[in-house]
Amino acid sequence: MKRIFKLSAILLVFLMAFGSVSCKKKEKTTENTVVRSAEDTDDFRMNELTEMNVGLSCDLSWYSNSGYTPSNNPAYSLHQSAINVKLNNVIELPWSGYEQQITNGLITGNLPDAFFVNQALLDELIRNRLIEDMTDYYRLWATDELRANIEVNGGINLAYPTRDGKLYGIPAINDEGERPTLWYRLDWIKNLNAKAIGQTVYDTENNKRFHEDGPKTIDEFWALCEAFALDDPDNDSRTKTYGLEVSKNVTIDNSVIPVFNAYGAYPSVIERAADGSFINHGLDDACKEPLKKLAEMVKKGCIDSDFISYDYQAAISKFCNGHAGMIFGVFYTPLNGLQGTLDLNPNAEWGACPMVTADGGDYVPTRKINLNGYYVVKKGYKHPEAVIKILNNIACTDINNAWQAGWSELTSRKGTDNAFNWLPMKVDRYNANEIRYNSFVTALETKGADGYDTSMIAPADLTTWNKITDYLDNGNKNQWQWWATYFMGMDIALTYGNRGKFNDWNYPLTATMKTKGTTLDTLFTTTYSKIISGSNGYTDVDSAWAALQRDWMNGGGRNILREMKDYYNGLSTVNQ
């Protein structure tokens, strides 16, 4: 069944006010308070040298091998030479100290001219009227490339820093390539196929019991889960393996959420309805069917009942040691867990595939917004447009752009691996890893007697490329994880396209969340875990489910949903 998603009301209002992403540069008008002068014709450079006091959240280890400091480095010099903006750090601390300095500034008014904030700080700054409305600056100065990065997914990133039609923060975005990827033991599937006699054949084209490139239906997925546990997939004549690796945080991490999504259920999503109310989809009856199926797998011994005692990192570790045949992760799971495991399992072969749906329709995964926080400008700063011009340069893909040319040269130097983190304001490309992947694919296709044509690969990505070719050309298994991340993981992530269901609540704690939120979260996660594990008498799924719905709502959930609606509609504040 194909699902259609609608833009939220506030987002529609925002897009009507600012216009959707367009390939045409926005008109410079004089209808608003902010006017762009006729002399200001360069989207990438200030006409006169402009000083900007900034806040920098940093880790000094980023500079340890470079010979530079947070305030004296070639990235800051490049801002001055290419953009005509001189940056002065008035805060340069790790996040905890940085956050405290900004919090102090809420009281004293002593804030940088431009700085990064999270959602909680943004709301405080708006409420205290300490930051500029960036609406006109974004409309008049933002380039199409910057807009395309920020306004991806229908402009959802712009909804969070918008109040009463005013844009108070420029979203600080990152790559959004996280999609569920099913990692599995390919060598175990080959073993199962080799001895399959009288079994259901799912790969009818090749007359094999299971598809070696991953299950194609939900029935095959569960059959594979059972076979990995019960049919001696590692050929050691003992039944000691499991089908699917799961962690106790079943409503939080990657280990189980994709299974719920396969049944059209979204236990980690809070969605805003058309009437402005919020819905906790973790209480939807659609969650019962996958809960029952997971509980069935535990009862059959296909999922370790002890999962209730370990977290996702432990699950990854167990998977790598041959504990189970499948685990859900993301495209870069080889870098965050699978790396080095070939030393433990020299004969192991890993496979990767997308998840399938129960109804055979399009798979719509739970998605996270690709948003780290916001760049804001202190009220009264003379040149807020300088922030937009800085971000225009970073978002630019023209290699002849002065800042980009300088950046390419800078990142080719020794000791500049962390140079991107040196920037007080930065915007990643929403499809950064897709771009890297495509450049790597293009380079591989050019292999000849003289090696590879790497002209399409960004200088900063050549280190990763060299690791990939070290694995491919030299057989260096220590670099397998880099190849697998892109040529297995990213390859799978791209199959989902832009489909996804987002969590619509990305704001500070409401009053009831502060007093009862932790208790409700614990109730939610532990109930799910107990239903799946069948522990403590949670064997009647229907009654346990009804109790969860009742206890969550009566225990404060009803108040939380009401407070969400009131806050979002401007009827109350969460920060009083």
The DSSP H or E segment spanning 398 is none
CB-based contacts of 416: which residues, under 8 Å, 6+ apart?
A: 66, 74, 410
Domains along the chain with CATH numbers: 9-177+371-422 (3.40.190.10), 179-367+431-576 (3.40.190.10)
pLDDT digits (tens, 9 = 90+) for 18-73: 433 333 344 444 345 899 999 999 999 999 999 999 999 999 999 988 899 999 99
12 pLDDT above the threshold of 50 = no
Triad 62, 66, 68: Cα angle to 5°: 85
pLDDT digits (tens, 9 = 90+) for 420-453: 999 999 988 888 899 999 999 999 999 988 899 9
137 pLDDT above the threshold of 90 = yes
234 pLDDT above the threshold of 50 = yes
470 pLDDT above the threshold of 70 = yes
Residue 373's pLDDT band (cuts 50, 70, 90): very high
**Res 345: pLDDT:** 74
Structure tokens at 228: 């990995």
pLDDT digits (tens, 9 = 90+) for 273-312: 888 899 999 999 999 999 999 999 999 999 999 999 999 9
Rounded-to-integer distance, Cα 136 and Cα 158, Å: 14
**Res 338: pLDDT:** 81
Helix axes 288-299, 218-230, angle to 10 degrees: 20
CB neighbours of residue 187 within 10 Å: 18
- Do 63 and 422 touch, CB atoms closer than 8 A? yes
**Res 342: pLDDT:** 67
**Res 571: pLDDT:** 54
More confident residue, 408 or 354: 354
Q: What is the mean pLDDT of residues 109-116?
A: 96
